[in-house]
Amino acid sequence: MTKMERVTKKAKQESGGLGIDFEGEKAPGKKPTLTTGGQPAFFSCWDIHAYYGESYIVQGVNFDVREGEIVALLGRNGAGKTSTLRTIARTENPALRRGEIWLDHKPVHEMAAHEAAQSGIGLVPEDRRIIQGLTVEENLKLAQIAPPHGWSLERIYDLFPRLGERRTQEGTTLSGGEQQMLSIGRALARDIKLLLLDEPYEGLAPVIVKEIERTLEEIKGLGMTTIIVEQNAIAALHLADRAIILDMGQIVFDGVSQEVLDDADLRQQYLAI
């Protein structure tokens, strides 16, 4: 059985009902956490605080993500969404000064960015970071330079046929939508456990957004645990099981996506939609 099949099977086994309990004991950190069936959450941020220099941006963020769950992380411009994703990926900035981050029992808060990546955090940044001078295929192969490997190139091309068609084209000459696909493909080429998407639909035509949405649905069907940040909150809410809303670096809502879709006042107050 492949890794993804195992993840899928496990996610399916665990997805019988929401089963969210509040339990005082959490395996490694002994912190209260949302759990599924008495198990520690697959991913959790515990009271994380992060700074750009002396600018205090991520101000005590706490949340759990179950294996196979998709969470939409929403909030207005400057709410701290990108900073939260960057903190989780352990990029140098913002610097995590307090709190814990756990992924599949591993202490991500103790890791540098490359270690977090090796442990399964896959950040697809807003600017997509396609490497200049390399073809589509070389960009993907570079992601697989060090084990553990994730999806094969063939599998990535099955998910994104456009990438297969353009495998010999220089990555930076792709359209915006294709670059987004390449950026997601590059994350999947590694053996990731948590996919972090920062504004995957940004700047893309509606027809391309639809295409990327379809692939994210497919990835979701395979049981990939995902956090998606998106200005297109409605699209993200339709994809996600749960929504977390940030405001000024703090969580102001954590609940099922449908609640946000149904609550016009909440959307107006924190999302301005």
Ligand X SMILES: Nc1ncnc2c1ncn2[C@@H]1O[C@H](COP(=O)(O)OP(=O)(O)OP(=O)(O)O)[C@@H](O)[C@H]1O
**Interface ranges with ligand X (CB under 6 A):** 52, 55, 57, 75, 77-83, 93
CB-wise, 39 or 82, nearer to Mg ion?
82
CB-wise, 80 or 122, nearer to ligand X?
80
Q: Nearest distance from residue 51's CB to ligand X, in Å?
A: 9
Contact between 231 and Mg ion (CB under 5 A)? no
Contact between 82 and Mg ion (CB under 5 A)? yes
Q: Residue 83's binding partner, choosing from ligand X, Mg ion, none, with beta-carbon cut-off 5 to 8 A by kind?
A: ligand X
Q: Nearest distance from residue 181's CB to ligand X, in Å?
A: 21
Q: Nearest distance from residue 197's CB to ligand X, in Å?
A: 12
Q: Both tokens of residue 107?
A: 């202490």
Q: Nearest distance from residue 261's CB to ligand X, in Å?
A: 20
Q: Residue 231 burial (CB < 10 Å; 0-12/13-18/19+)?
A: middle
CB-wise, 80 or 171, nearer to ligand X?
80
CB-wise, 77 or 168, nearer to ligand X?
77
CB-wise, 156 or 196, nearer to Mg ion?
196
Q: First and final CA of the chain: distance in angstroms?
A: 44
Q: Residue 80's binding partner, choosing from ligand X, Mg ion, none, with beta-carbon cut-off 5 to 8 A by kind?
A: ligand X
Q: Residue 200's binding partner, choosing from Mg ion, ligand X, none, with beta-carbon cut-off 5 to 8 A by kind?
A: none
Q: Residue 78's binding partner, choosing from Mg ion, ligand X, none, with beta-carbon cut-off 5 to 8 A by kind?
A: ligand X
Choose the binding region for Mg ion from 16-24, 80-88, 106-114, 165-173 (rule: CB under 5 A).
80-88
Q: Nearest distance from residue 226's CB to Mg ion, in Å?
A: 17
Q: Nearest distance from residue 97's CB to Mg ion, in Å?
A: 20
Q: What SS3 string covers the chain?
A: CCHHHHHHHHHHHHCCCCCEEEECCCCCCCCCEEEECCECCCEEEEEEEEEECCEEEEEEEEEEECCCCEEEEECCCCCCHHHHHHHHCCCCCCEEEEEEEEECCEEHHHCCHHHHHHCCEEEECCCCCCCCCCEHHHHHHHHCCCCCECCCHHHHHHHCHHHHHCCCCEHHHCCHHHHHHHHHHHHHCECCCEEEEECCCCCCCHHHHHHHHHHHHHHHHCCCEEEEECCCHHHHHHHCCEEEEEECCEEEEEEEHHHHHHCHHHHHHHCCC
Where do contacts with Mg ion occur on this chain (CB under 5 A)? 81-82
